Structures are given as structure tokens and as C-alpha cells.
Chains A and B, each alone.
Chain A
């Protein structure tokens, strides 16, 4: 179970829109309590006061940036969705396939407050004129599945979902789909293919899902945390949302930040967008067992390694982007000085290699090769040239060269680990160039 480390007393409706209702005992917020605490007020308001255009405009002006890691403006995405006269109503898909290494934020929201997500999806449904919502949930999140199922049933029974939502004449329902366990399903178009029952290969863009998404209909895919921010924006307005981050960031709102690794208090905090790494590490109680921080990943396995000196930066999309890394999901993975960067990188690349869908060549055949090279370095069996080869691979797996962002995400920790910690990799080189070319498989071996 995912845990928020701020107590109920610290979390307030005005400053902690995502988590203020959460219980200290981590039990889920049920429909009755949710309704008692302004729940679904945003849906009522939207149905009464908004057109789909004005609702989209509100979210757009709030500058709500995608919390799945890419930071794309949710409102702008909605404004690109094909909708209106003659366009068939499509789908809102919640990307709840939270499988980014070191990331456990969406889980908290879904396990403990599924109605917030449902409310956000209904609002997204109104703004995009969707007829149906799907929650594509990571299969292993069985607690979240149970909480969502109950919440969907309760919301439906209370008229928030189904035909004629709350007497508005507008139909919208949500179905839960649990994934079969592929990281690539977090890529929105692979997710759509998987949802349709096809192989989870990403699709070429354009056309974007807003043009031709699930079953060829206009489709919007948003992350859980992104959607959970929408009710607050609708209730309190874009300016309020912008003000949540104060002077810390030009991006509005709060962010669920978290830390994993060898710290004293790993967990989650809802903090203003743009909070620094130092502040978050401080909340996590610093490094444990007298260890020293060597490096850190700002937001999951597909972000680039940073150094302790980067902790003073505001953790928002643009600031971290300037370092060559990405904020990603905003959940920090800390690396202590006694951990091997080579092994850590190998571990990450093994994950990305295994999770490649197999569609495009560099990702499918490049990543497994990088793993083998890293294993060789790890075992002290590297040969001269291996590091340069890994660097070349990191470039050849970069943006634009592969079909989707999976391989560029895998290349980021690889490139940054070599960049900052080259000496650790060099220690694995024990053979001159070409020596290891001797066939490692004995003749006659099968």
C-alpha cells in the first residue's frame, strides 16, 4: 500500500487538493464521505455552467501539465480532440498503468480516493464529448482495482455515471480494464492497442489519439494524477491552481512527490510544484545508515541520473529538463555511494530491454545488446571500446530514431550514468579491443 507521509492535519482542501480527504489509516474515502466533502461538486458545476469548450479552456488556462511524466498541457491536449457536429463521441482513457520504476503515486490516489479520479474522468468526458471512459489499470494493483470497482458501482448507483448523468441528459460511463503486465502499456497508443485487444505496440503519430484513437474514435489519454487535479481546477478556477505553486514554479498546482531508496522515510508528499529536491530529501529524513548520496533519478527509471548538486533545483518540468534529465513522475530514486552505477544501470536496462514491445529495431535489438555489454562490464569482462559502443547506442536509441519514447527513456539513464560516472564503467574494462571477439560458444555446444 502506498503511503502519504503528511498527516491529515497537515493536508488542507485549499493547499492539498489531491490528498486532503485521505485518512491517516489509509482506508478509502467512500462515496458518502466524498459527497460530504465537496465531492462531485465540480461535475455538477460543469454540467450546469460549462460548455465543453469553456471547460477545456479552464483546464488549458490552468496550465495543468501531464503528471504521467511528459508534462504536456492537458487542456491543450483536450483542445486538439476532434469533437462537435458530425464527429462520433469517443473515449476518455485514464492511464493507470503505473509501472515506471520507482513510481507509486497513482496507486495512492486510486486505492484511497477513487472517486476523485472518477470525478476527473467525468469532467474530461464532458470537455471532450466522450461517450465512455476506461481506466487502464496496472494488473498488479488489485487493491486499487477493488477500490475503483466499488467506487464505480457506487457512483453509478448514485447517478454520476451511466445514462442521463444526474438528470443532465448527458450519458457517460466508465469501465475498468486491468492490464496484463507490460510497461509499454503506459505509452498512450500502446495502451490503446492493448485496450482494443491487440498487441501492445505503440502507434505512429500522427494521427494522434484525439484524431483517431481507441477503435478509431477520438480518444484522450490522461494520467491518474492529471485527472485528479481537474475537479479542483473546475471548483476553484485556473488562478487558484496557478497560485498553488506560488513562486516556486511557473507550472501551477501541487505535485505528488516521493522518494525511494536508502533514505530514512521513503514515501509520498503532496507539495507545491517546483519544490526542490533538497526539501523533499529533507522530508524523507535524509540518507540512512550514514550513507552519502551519490546520485539520484528525478522521476523514474526513464529519467537521467543527476548529481547531489542538482538537488537545489526546483523539481518542475522545465527546470529539470534543462539539466538533460527529465522530471518524469517526480518520484526520486536515490543512489547511495556504496551502490554500483554499472549494476544499477544494468538493472534498469534489463527492465527496459525486457519491456520493449519488439516493434522497432533499435529498441528491440539494441537494448538487449546494451544489457550484455553492461553485464560484461559488471563482471569485469569488458573490452576496450565497450563504453564508446554503449554511448553510441544511447545516441542511436535517442528521440526520433526509435518508434516511441520507450528507448529514448532507456537511453537517458544509460547516457547520464556513463556521463557522470565513467570511471565506474572503465573499471569493468579488462581486455583490449577485439579480444573478446573470440567465439564465446565452444564449437559443438548446443
Chain B
């Protein structure tokens, strides 16, 4: 610690910080642009100048850039010094020389860091009277709009895009006052993290293109703290709504989880909420009849009548629905009749992952903790595709070597360019074992391309190398043995080694191999090692913890006539088990009630369909892959702007259905009671009752505002429906109000923040005000409750080591390759994500392709699991011979029902030239 004297006041600060970081953390305002809490200092913009004095007697001092000035004990500085103030104002004036002053038509306006800093410095008169330089803008794809004339050349975009996120197609061009940030030519930005440019850019150069299509100013949006539902990473988001539509998703800071950054699927995949074809009223479908919409009471009565006729009712839950909704379904049907809605193999692997997280002896790191790891082994996961935000953290872990090298030469971590220089290509070791090339290969110490079974064998061998009592793997060749030694040495040499595996390849063996490594590290007393296991869906972990049978079990109940009534919650069964099986099982059911927010093939099979809220219209709890239970809050009440809609939270439907079924009046239920019930019913979820502010949480007696206090038009926005302004919807379930009335400040501690705003800070940089130190944790603690605590090292090693993969004559192992864009059933319904998707292709090893006479783009005929379809070929330099890869998720659109499966073999051939069916089409 060090004492610094700022304008006559003394403060204790960290001596490893720079002055800007220290002052901002103290709550003192210094304007800045090029500095970013996650990206450090580069000294480019010169905005953060302060006066530094030699000692208490020095009254002249000299200007320093606070971001580049290390904290020194007993340092005297002044922010208020007139020369410093004048210089900061001048810098804004310089930045404005070519800025178009187009705030009224700029989509950054209202959450613009440049506006905030301009006001902060007091620059309000333009003296520049000459022509401004102009640029041509580029088409950067469906996500990002580009308006280079607004650029103030802070270099944050390229520093984030290239240095932080590893992108290569956005750079700085030109020189002097003609620096251009863009691509070499127009085209879609390749990075999976491009959306962060909209928040990293301090002005309106990079803005959210999806927001632009239905633009609303920040102050006119209604927000709630939410959690991304598009994968299992558990990133915190702040969706903004207006007129009943989600307008954009912005990052919600969580110092433990996503920090400042999201992936593009999470940020731009919200379009399914706004789809016009969503069910908004209950529907009843008689046998072979058209669907008929109806009122809530009629639907509940009809559904209850139907279900009453059933001998036994089973419930099929969903890993994309909240714990509360799943639990409410379980209460409706009884624990013995509840299925998690997860295919048996996947459910077994989810349970195994949970057991490993608890019992393998290693902690499950948060995303923030992953960034501190210094040796990482990834078994089977293409992280950019399967859990992109995890991949971004892994990238930071590798880059962490630079900070370590810098420290050896006295270069502080925040001195970003100097750290980059000293690091050059050095990184903490990352070992990747995946079937196909990945976008992390470039920073890996080694990337090995293997079939799933061989990935497991590699893992088992590493465990054996770490601890000779772990089972050995026979028959590894010399090169593989050397790699095994190298990996084991790197993991042992590290302070915080990390093993990552997951669900992508549907391989239990890979999980068990990862488990053996974890146990071996545990036995080598590496208690600070970590184990990260990637699940497929937002609440896969939660469903595992809640308990319940597999989807296969549920279908079997229907097939055997054991049950003939089924209530299906937010789950499209056709994405999980082959269509003929689902068809047949549902065919036996006398009553099918589906609660969902999308028109899925399963919805179309419902006798009664009840329109559910998406994450944006519901509250609930998800458990992320690190075992963090996090509550998401309803963003808006859909019936306020659309009175005809009957969308309700799934749990509310299920509660009402339950009561109706039992001929009881439907009593009011509260979310907290549901969460409490979850905590009581599932021991693993017991800590949940401490998770959130309860509905009665108040600050100064106030609820928390969902809307900024400048929210405009409330009295007019429904005027076309009714000249009387209705009362704002009540929210009894949470501490938030559907209103600008309520607490929206930063001084009082709270974990759940709907939108970041502080006086003078309208941009996302306002998060500074909520943090214990800038870039640190929220002052009230980061949201979420961690459910996994690692046990002491122990447990037996797994011993079932698969045989080495051998290509088969005339048959190929067909594996699913995860896809960030298109791999998730919900975000795939969002138009911008569809635009960004690669059309489904089959990936083939180059040698295999040559033998089959298949060239890139040629139509390939594939027969697998009784399905036959054609796809264009993608030749892969990575895939091992004998293995072909299909794009997970989006493949289902092509095949009409090829569902994920662990191990399957299929026939692959060059498609018949005479065939009329175009590539990418299913054939019977």
C-alpha cells in the first residue's frame, strides 16, 4: 500500500497501480479514453493528465498522464490544478476537431463516453473553423455498424480486437490525422467477440447493428439484470426493452464471471424473443385439427381435463428453463414422474461432470479465475464454439505470461504495450486436443488433432504421467508419449494448472480422463489447480443438481403405456432424440401439454400449448458451468404494451395448471417461495435461498428501478391503445419495479444492477462506480452463489480406457462439431445469427476426401442413424482420417432430426451427380 496526496486529501492505494486506476477506484473523476480497466494503459489519448509534484514543497509540479504514472508512496498530485484542467479541456478540443458533432443522430448518444468526458472537462466552445476530415465507412456484417467519422483514435478497438481477443481482421491503417480503424476490405468481422467493440469504443464508431434496426436511446430502455441463456458460461447481461421488444443486450459487469465482455452469440442472439411467430395466447389442437387460440382460464380447464383423463402424468423439464420452472413442473407431476428432458447419455455425463466438480479434488474456477491460470490442458472442447466466453478467459490466461515476464523486469502489468513487447509470442502453455482445428490453435503450445477416443487416451496417459498409480495407457507411440510428458511437466510446473473438458464430443471417456488428471493433480497436492467442465446448455448443471430422469426414460413411459399424459416444459424433444422415436412416443400420449415460448416441432404436437415467457419475460435461476447459481430478472411485462398477449412465466403456468388440476383456486405465488422450495427439495441447491435479494429488498425504502430516471414517454407510449395510462405493472416477485421510480444509484451496495449509470457517467464505463476497485468486483459482491465446493483429493481412478481409434473400411465416425453461431436452438432463431452462420457442411479429412474423390464444396452424401442427407464438403487440415464432423445444432435443420449422439458411424460418399436434390437437403 502507498499513501498519495490528491488535492490536499490523503488516500491509501495499491502501490502496484497507476494513478488513474487508483484515483478512479477512490471515486475521483479523471477523464480518460485509451485506458480501459481490462486492457491497461498505453498513454495515447493524453486525456488523463494530472499535475504531479516532487514533494509537499513543490508548487510548480509537472503534468503527467495519470494512466502511465505509477503510484508512488507519498506522491503529491492534483486533479483540480488549473493547468491540468486546461490541458484536459484542450485534449477534448483536439479530439473534436474532426468529430462530426452528430450526437442527435448518433446511436452512441446517451451512453457515450465521449459525451461524458466532454462534459466532464467543460469543453463547450469550438474554435476550430476549418474543414473536417471525413472517412468512408465499411460494411462489417450483421452485428456491427461502422461510422469512422466519429472516431477519436483512442486505439481501444484494435487493442481489444487484436490483443485481447486475438482477432486479425480489424486494424489501424494510415497515419497522422487520417488513422482508419477497419478491415482491409468490407466484410463481416471474423471475431466471435466483435460485439464488445460497441462497448469498448468510447464513441459511436462501432455500434450495435441489431439495435440500429429498432433503435432506442439508453435512457428510454427498460432493463433488468439478466443471465445469458445461450450457453452454459453464465455471462451476466443487461437486456434493454422498449415497446415490448428487446432492443439490445449489453454486458452486465460481473467481476467473477464475464467482466466487461460477452461473446457475439450472447449479445446478438436475442432475436427469438422478438419473433412475431411466437405463441402469445394459449392454443388448443384437437386431433388433426387446426390450432385454436383461447383465454387463459379455458386453456387451463382444457389442459386439466385432458390431464385428468390420463392414467399417469409425466413431466419433461428442460436445461434451457429455470430451476423454478423445472421444479414447479416436478411438483406438478411428482418427483417420481419428472424427467430432466435430457437425453440419457448426456444426462449421465452431466451427472459425472457434477461428481467430478465435487469429488475430483479440484476447484471449479470462475471465468475470472481461469484468467489467472498458468498452464491449461483442453480435452475435446473447441471452446470458441462451445463456450466462447471461456475461450476468451483462456486466452487471457495464456497472455498472462507477458505480465509475469514484465514483472521480472519491473514492468507493471498495466503498462500494456510494454508487456506486449516483452511477451512477444511467449504465453503460458495451452495444450489443445480436439478433433478439428480451433481458433485457439494460434496461441497453443501444442494443438493435437485426435479422434474422441484418442483424446481420452491422451488424457488418461497424462494422468498416469502425473501419478503412476493412475491407470496407464498402452500402445502410445513415441511422439504421443513425449507430448504426454510435456503436458504433465507443464501442469506440474504451473502454479495454477487447469484442465478443461466437456460435453461437445459426447464422450464419457474424455470426462473420465479429465477426472483422472484432476485426481492425479490433487494427489500431487496441487490444490490450486482447477477443473472446468463445459456443459451444453444454460441450465444443464442446474437440472443435474435438481435431479430427474432422462428423456429416454420419459419416452419409454409413454411408449410402454406406463404413462399417457405429459407436460413438456420449454423443450423441443426433436432436438434431443430421433424424430421417429419422439413421434411414436408422443403418439401414445392422450394428453400433451407444452409450455414454451417458441413454435417448435414439439409445440406443434401439443394438445394444449401454453405461451411461456423467454428469459426477458420471466424470472428464475440458472446454474452455470462453474456451478454458479444466478438469478435472471424479468425485463418487461409483455402484456403492458400488448394487452392481448397471455405470455406468462412457465412456472406461473405450471402453478396455475397444478391448482386447476387439483380443482383448487389459483393462489398468488412468489418467485422467492419457488426458489425456497427448490432449495429445500434438492440438497445440492440448498444454498440458493441466500442467492438473491428477496422480493422485499429495498434501498431507502425504495424498490430498484428498471428504467433510467430520464425514461421518457411513459404516459404516451400506450396512447394508441388507450388514452388512460394504466398503472405500471407490479412486480411482486423481485425488488425491481417496472418504472423509473426507485433506486438506480451506485452508492448503496447492491449486487443486482439493471443498468450502470452514475451522475456524469452514462456509458458502460459507469461500472467504475459500482466496483470495489475499477475492474475489480462489485462493491456489494459479484452476483451469484457458487454451489460447488471441491472435496479433498481422493476418489478412485477411472480405469476404462478406450482402445485407440482405428478408421474403419467404408465407415466413418460421425462427430458433432460445436458451432457458436447456429449451435444453439434459440439464438439460431435470431436473424443476425443466421446471417453469421456458416451454412451446414460436412468436415472431412483431406486424405479421406481425396480417396473419395471429394473436393471442397462438393456435395457429399451421408447416411447415419437411419437418416440420409447431402451436404457440401469442407476439407479440414485437422480432422483425423476416418472421422467426419457435422455442425452441431444447425445440422438438424438439414437432416430433419439428426440428434446428438455419443458415438456413431456412418457412410460417406460423393453424392450422385444425377441426383436432383440440392446439397444441404434431406432425402428420405
Please determine whether B129 and A437 come into contact, CB atoms closer than 8 angstroms: yes
Tell me whether B222 is interfacial, beta carbon within 8 Å: no
Complex partner residue of B178 from A215, A358, A401, CB under 8 angstroms: A358
Give the nearest-CB partner of B418 in chain A. A207
Give the nearest-CB partner of B33 in chain A. A361
Q: How far is the CA of A349 from the CA of B410 in the complex (A)?
A: 38
Please determine whether B42 and A354 come into contact, CB atoms closer than 8 angstroms: no
Please determine whether A212 and B91 come into contact, CB atoms closer than 8 angstroms: no
Please determine whether B422 and A369 come into contact, CB atoms closer than 8 angstroms: no
Tell me whether A2 is interfacial, beta carbon within 8 Å: no
Taking CB atoms, residues of chain B closer than 8 Å to A354 are: 176
Tell me whether A162 is interfacial, beta carbon within 8 Å: no
Q: How far is the CA of A437 from the CA of B127 in the complex (A)?
A: 8
Interface size class of A (residues with CB under 8 A): 35 or more
Taking CB atoms, residues of chain A closer than 8 Å to B94 are: 361-362, 364-366, 369
Known: A358-B174, A440-B131. A215 touches B424 (CB 8 A): yes
Known: A207-B422, A212-B409, A365-B98. A440 touches B129 (CB 8 A): yes
Please determine whether B131 and A396 come into contact, CB atoms closer than 8 angstroms: no
Tell me whether A70 is interfacial, beta carbon within 8 Å: no
A365, A368, A436 pick with most chain B CB within 10 angstroms: A365
Please determine whether B87 and A369 come into contact, CB atoms closer than 8 angstroms: no
A377-417 at interface with B (beta carbon < 8 Å): 385, 389, 392, 396, 400-403
Tell me whether A171 is interfacial, beta carbon within 8 Å: no
In the complex, identify which listed stretch (A198-206, A222-230, A308-316) lies at the interface while the others stay far away. Answer: A198-206
Please determine whether B418 and A440 come into contact, CB atoms closer than 8 angstroms: no
In the complex, identify which listed stretch (B61-69, B187-195, B343-351, B476-484) lies at the interface while the others stay far away. Answer: B61-69
Complex partner residue of A369 from B45, B130, B152, B423, CB under 8 angstroms: B130
Taking CB atoms, residues of chain A closer than 8 Å to B45 are: 360-361
Q: How far is the CA of A354 from the CA of B174 in the complex (A)?
A: 11
Tell me whether A319 is interfacial, beta carbon within 8 Å: no
Known: A204-B42, A360-B45, A401-B46. A440 touches B130 (CB 8 A): yes
Please determine whether A436 and B129 come into contact, CB atoms closer than 8 angstroms: yes
Please determine whether A204 and B68 come into contact, CB atoms closer than 8 angstroms: yes
Known: A212-B421, A356-B175, A365-B94. A206 touches B131 (CB 8 A): no
Tell me whether A1 is interfacial, beta carbon within 8 Å: no
Please determine whether B47 and A361 come into contact, CB atoms closer than 8 angstroms: yes
B68-126 at interface with A (beta carbon < 8 Å): 68, 87, 90-91, 94-95, 97-98
Please determine whether B43 and A204 come into contact, CB atoms closer than 8 angstroms: yes
Give the nearest-CB partner of A358 in chain B. B179
Tell me whether B128 is interfacial, beta carbon within 8 Å: yes
Known: A362-B94, A365-B98. A204 touches B417 (CB 8 A): yes
Tell me whether A131 is interfacial, beta carbon within 8 Å: no
Taking CB atoms, residues of chain A closer than 8 Å to B174 are: 358
Chain A 319-340 interface mask (CB, 8 Å, partner B; 1/0): 0000000000000000000000
Please determine whether A368 and B409 come into contact, CB atoms closer than 8 angstroms: no
Please determine whether B418 and A362 come into contact, CB atoms closer than 8 angstroms: no
Q: How far is the CA of A324 from the CA of B823 in the complex (A)?
A: 67
Chain A 195-223 interface mask (CB, 8 Å, partner B; 1/0): 00001000110110001100110000000
Taking CB atoms, residues of chain B closer than 8 Å to A441 are: 131
Please determine whether B417 and A216 come into contact, CB atoms closer than 8 angstroms: no
Chain B 170-190 interface mask (CB, 8 Å, partner A; 1/0): 001011111100000000000
Known: A207-B409, A369-B97, A372-B130. A216 touches B424 (CB 8 A): yes
Chain B 727-750 interface mask (CB, 8 Å, partner A; 1/0): 000000000000000000000000
Please determine whether A400 and B177 come into contact, CB atoms closer than 8 angstroms: no
Taking CB atoms, residues of chain B closer than 8 Å to A360 are: 43-46
Please determine whether A365 and B43 come into contact, CB atoms closer than 8 angstroms: no
Please determine whether A368 and B177 come into contact, CB atoms closer than 8 angstroms: yes
Please determine whether A203 and B63 come into contact, CB atoms closer than 8 angstroms: no
Tell me whether A303 is interfacial, beta carbon within 8 Å: no
Q: How far is the CA of A359 from the CA of B97 in the complex (A)?
A: 16
Please determine whether A403 and B46 come into contact, CB atoms closer than 8 angstroms: yes
Please determine whether A204 and B179 come into contact, CB atoms closer than 8 angstroms: no
Q: How far is the CA of A429 from the CA of B176 in the complex (A)?
A: 28
Please determine whether A401 and B175 come into contact, CB atoms closer than 8 angstroms: no
Q: How far is the CA of A82 from the CA of B87 in the complex (A)?
A: 36
Q: How far is the CA of A400 from the CA of B97 in the complex (A)?
A: 22
Shortest beta-carbon distance from B853 to chain A in Å: 42
Shortest beta-carbon distance from B426 to chain A in Å: 8
Tell me whether A15 is interfacial, beta carbon within 8 Å: no
Shortest beta-carbon distance from B515 to chain A in Å: 39
Shortest beta-carbon distance from A199 to chain B in Å: 6
Shortest beta-carbon distance from A438 to chain B in Å: 8
Complex partner residue of B87 from A355, A372, A376, A401, CB under 8 angstroms: A401
Tell me whether A233 is interfacial, beta carbon within 8 Å: no
Tell me whether A357 is interfacial, beta carbon within 8 Å: yes
B795-848 at interface with A (beta carbon < 8 Å): none
Known: A392-B90, A396-B90, A403-B44. A207 touches B177 (CB 8 A): no
Tell me whether B302 is interfacial, beta carbon within 8 Å: no
B23-55 at interface with A (beta carbon < 8 Å): 42-47, 49
Shortest beta-carbon distance from B582 to chain A in Å: 56
Please determine whether B418 and A212 come into contact, CB atoms closer than 8 angstroms: yes
Please determine whether B418 and A401 come into contact, CB atoms closer than 8 angstroms: no
Please determine whether B130 and A362 come into contact, CB atoms closer than 8 angstroms: no
Q: How far is the CA of A92 from the CA of B63 in the complex (A)?
A: 33
Q: How far is the CA of A369 from the CA of B93 in the complex (A)?
A: 11
Known: A204-B417, A365-B94, A366-B94. A396 touches B129 (CB 8 A): no
Q: How far is the CA of A402 from the CA of B64 in the complex (A)?
A: 10
Q: How far is the CA of A372 from the CA of B90 in the complex (A)?
A: 17
Complex partner residue of B44 from A361, A369, A400, CB under 8 angstroms: A361
Q: How far is the CA of A219 from the CA of B405 in the complex (A)?
A: 17
Give the nearest-CB partner of A436 in chain B. B129
Please determine whether B44 and A211 come into contact, CB atoms closer than 8 angstroms: no
Tell me whether B516 is interfacial, beta carbon within 8 Å: no
Tell me whether A182 is interfacial, beta carbon within 8 Å: yes
Q: How far is the CA of A203 from the CA of B68 in the complex (A)?
A: 12
Taking CB atoms, residues of chain B closer than 8 Å to A436 are: 129
Tell me whether A19 is interfacial, beta carbon within 8 Å: no
Known: A358-B177, A361-B91. A211 touches B409 (CB 8 A): yes
Tell me whether B411 is interfacial, beta carbon within 8 Å: yes
Tell me whether B236 is interfacial, beta carbon within 8 Å: no
Shortest beta-carbon distance from B75 to chain A in Å: 16
Tell me whether A353 is interfacial, beta carbon within 8 Å: yes
Q: How far is the CA of A341 from the CA of B312 in the complex (A)?
A: 99
B87, B94, B155, B423 pick with most chain A CB within 10 angstroms: B94
Taking CB atoms, residues of chain A closer than 8 Å to B423 are: 216
Shortest beta-carbon distance from A391 to chain B in Å: 13
B146-187 at interface with A (beta carbon < 8 Å): 152-153, 155, 172, 174-179
Give the nearest-CB partner of A199 in chain B. B172
Shortest beta-carbon distance from A214 to chain B in Å: 9
Taking CB atoms, residues of chain A closer than 8 Å to B409 are: 82, 207, 211-212
Shortest beta-carbon distance from A70 to chain B in Å: 19
17 sampled A-B residue pairs with Cβ under 8 A:
A203-B417, A207-B415, A216-B424, A354-B176, A357-B176, A358-B172, A359-B155, A361-B47, A361-B94, A364-B153, A364-B179, A365-B98, A369-B128, A389-B127, A396-B87, A402-B46, A440-B130
Interface residues of A (CB under 8 A from B): 82, 182, 199, 203-204, 206-207, 211-212, 215-216, 353-362, 364-369, 372, 376, 385, 389, 392, 396, 400-403, 436-437, 440-441
Please name the 3 residue pairs, one residue from A and one from B, whose CB atoms are nearest each other, closest first. A365-B94, A358-B179, A356-B176
Interface residues of B (CB under 8 A from A): 42-47, 49, 62-64, 68, 87, 90-91, 94-95, 97-98, 127-131, 152-153, 155, 172, 174-179, 405, 409-411, 415, 417-418, 421-424
**Given A396-B90, A403-B46, 12 more pairs with CB closer than 8 A:** A204-B43, A211-B411, A356-B175, A358-B174, A361-B45, A361-B46, A361-B94, A369-B94, A400-B62, A400-B64, A403-B44, A440-B131
